[in-house]
Structure 1
Amino acid sequence: MKQPIKYQYALDEENHIIDISMINKEHRIHSNYHCPSCGRELIAKLGEKKQKHFAHKFDTEGFPCNNETYLHQLAKIKIKEKFDKSESFFIKLREKVICSSVENCEFATNKHLCIKERDKLVNLKKYYNLCSIEKSIKDFRADLLLENTITGIKPILIEIFVTHPCTQDKINSKLPIIEIPIQSEEDIQIIENKTELCGQTYNFPIKNIYEPMEINYIIQKYVLFSSGKYSYIPTHQISCKNIETPQFEHTLLDISVYDGKLEKTEFFYYAISLGYNLKNCSICQHYNFKGICKKSREINTPIQPNPSYAYFCNYYKTNELFHRIYKHATSKIRIKIIKNDTKSFNNIDFNFLYSQKIGNILNTCISQLEQCYYKKSLRLQVGSISHNLSCYYNSCERFKINKFAYGLKFYHSMQPKKTPLFLYCIKEGFFNIKKKSNTKNIYLKIEDEQSLKEFTSYTGITIYPCGQSIFHNIEERKHERPSKEQTNQKKEKEEPCCIKELPSKNTLYLEDLFKNESKTSLTNKNKEEVLDYIEKEFKARNIFIEKHQESPVSLRPLYNECKREDIKRGNISLKIFNTSNELTPIFIQPCLNNESPLKNIPTIVLRIDSQGMWKEWSHKNCLLIKEGKNGEFYNIINLNEIVPDETLNSF
């Protein structure tokens, strides 16, 4: 047996809708109620345990009564009551507001940009005075029909959508229709309590409203300069009242894109379509999507060329396929030309401008190398050891082969037989490296002012063989491991500071060029000299120590005395201490790279070499010993507890 249908509403004896919440036991005794759907008798269930409701007095099985019909009938009655009893009967519509300046505005090519929508409440009681249930109009029957019995204005159909939406024929009739969705009794209560009806509307002729408005636009800005460079501002916001766009000096082509976006290559193709003799490697048919020139394997062109290289390349050709594609793409967006000067652009000698730019870059790089040499900070890398050129050559001359190749010649003025070394800065693709020559050359491929950054560190410039540098007639010698007998028979010899004579063979080995450096033997005499220097520095000025990833710490405020000590035979060091014995002393111990220091005492190990690289670290014009390649710290744990340098204003 089916469960009886429970309703919140019923019709009373006068066919008025009544809510179960308004019924008490006395009303139930003296009143009769019937179903809005099937018309059969309903009884009011007013129990305390269950929710109050109306239910059919007799079993509805076999009678045409269901919840959908009930909701449909109830909604019609409730909406009619609302119309009849209320002074207002609002419907929410959407109206279009168009800018009143649309005819004169430069943004109005696509008028949808100057249009916005907003809600509009219309009081139907101003236009209609009669609401009828189930009334026919033309060939259709309306759930509710709003009419004006005086003016004869076109009626409005109100359709209740419970399970079946409005038919397409009814929509195509051009009759104004309001379709209200109803799924439950709660939806009907919302209609009762809400100010306006909410639903889908059809065939409502809403007039467009013209009002002054200010709409913000996002535009893209593209500029081509007289230098051949271009600039792109991806998102610049302007408005109807302020259409100012950024202006640049020395521009020959200035465009703004309003309704879309151009890629860089599309901008180039657009400029070409305007008559600009523009060339750029990115739109060449030999340029791939990875930014690599496909001709670089066949001929001497840069692998990843500067875009302006196209003005010099004999193989440059515009990619016509992409040109047609991008030309079609630019036709679909709106472009406003702010400035257009093709004549001035096409009269520019880009060959001269580009060669001048490259010459300035090469000259800058050569100047940096020359300055490093005179500052004794220009080195060549030999395996894991770097060698300072100023230790082997006392003279340097700069020269220019052509506008794409600058060089430095290193030689020893007092030793004319010493083989000179040539260091070139070249622009790849414009200079042929002479690999058949017998000279000792190093070629650095320079792309821009930052090209030397790969070789630059805090100690200067160190050049080593890599993709950016080519070593010609200079090779690293591969050694065979000597036998024990050969090792025992080998005599230790101290080499002079500079090479007396280079090998006469064509290939100059790096180890031959710098063999005095690798074979120089540092004795205790050298250590004594290092300790003398450190002792003078400590007494005359100050010494700073810096642990890894920590701030420099000043030793002078903590310690007031130092003296030489030979703790263990061969391990000479400088003891730095406080005469009041308040602090544990520390020992600065100079050691060779292959020498093991004493580690069981608070020790700062200073790795020394013949070049004196350990002196290059400084802080506030005082010696700085850093933990790392040239310094090691042992049993100095609480370095952070020592007064940091930042807090000592007197040093």
Structure 2
Amino acid sequence: MVTDTESFNKLNHESLYLQHVDKILKESIETLTRYFKKQKLSIHIENKNINLAKYYNSSECSKENELVYCLKLYHSQQTLRPPLFIYCIEENYNYEPPKTSTKAIYIKVNGTVFSHENEINLYQCETCFFHNIHLKTSTKVNVGQRDIVLSTYLESNNEEPHFPNNYKENILSLLEKEFTLKTIFIENYDHKRLNLKTLFNRCIISEVNEVKMLELYNDNDQPYSSVYIQPCFNNENPQKQIPTIVLRLDTKEKWKETTYQDCPLIVQGKNGEFYKIMNLFTD
């Protein structure tokens, strides 16, 4: 208790609350991570418990903002296997699911770390909901023929094709040609589209820290410094210290499907991120 009224009035109550929430969310995400590494983290779909350690062998935690923490589960060797994101969210915060094919679990944390014994099994309910993890049912088939999206794509991975060794290099060559002939568009979270050719007039395949990328630059007096387009598989972390547009490669040729005015469109989101380039939209 603070008996000094003046000192009490000077307290930043919002900051204290955010510190309290941050502690709870951090403990929650750390608990999920610990149980995943112990192979004791499962999700429950259609009367089946799916142990996530059977399909992913790596994890990565991140803080999305003051009210959201994220646990990314992925397989470090199966490049075609989409990662799964588990979000711990402050109970009153309205966090919109990404409008992509990302598979995610959203958990509203209400002030206590998960109650658990020997394992954690996540059930879909009012405070825990699944995004793109659901029953895949057609109106033309019997109930017995429906399948579970998550387990279907996980269990069929033995038949996945592998990317050729020069896959990224071929993509960079195609992007270089595309930019030279037409342009490349990018779209941020606010759905603002930007024609990169209005900012840059040249491109070249460059190497930054032993990673090949497409460098967009100017050979005139334009004020913008170089920006890079960096192809990454889903299990890879991009280089964040440079202005970069991440082109996610989940399945073969799928990166070509999103277009605008018959030109490639790279959308900001969990399947593609922008780092250090937001001034392009604001200038």
Compute the TM-score of the two structures, normalised by the length of structure 2: 0.50
Q: Which structure has more RCO (C-alpha within 8 Å, separation ≥ 6)? A: 2
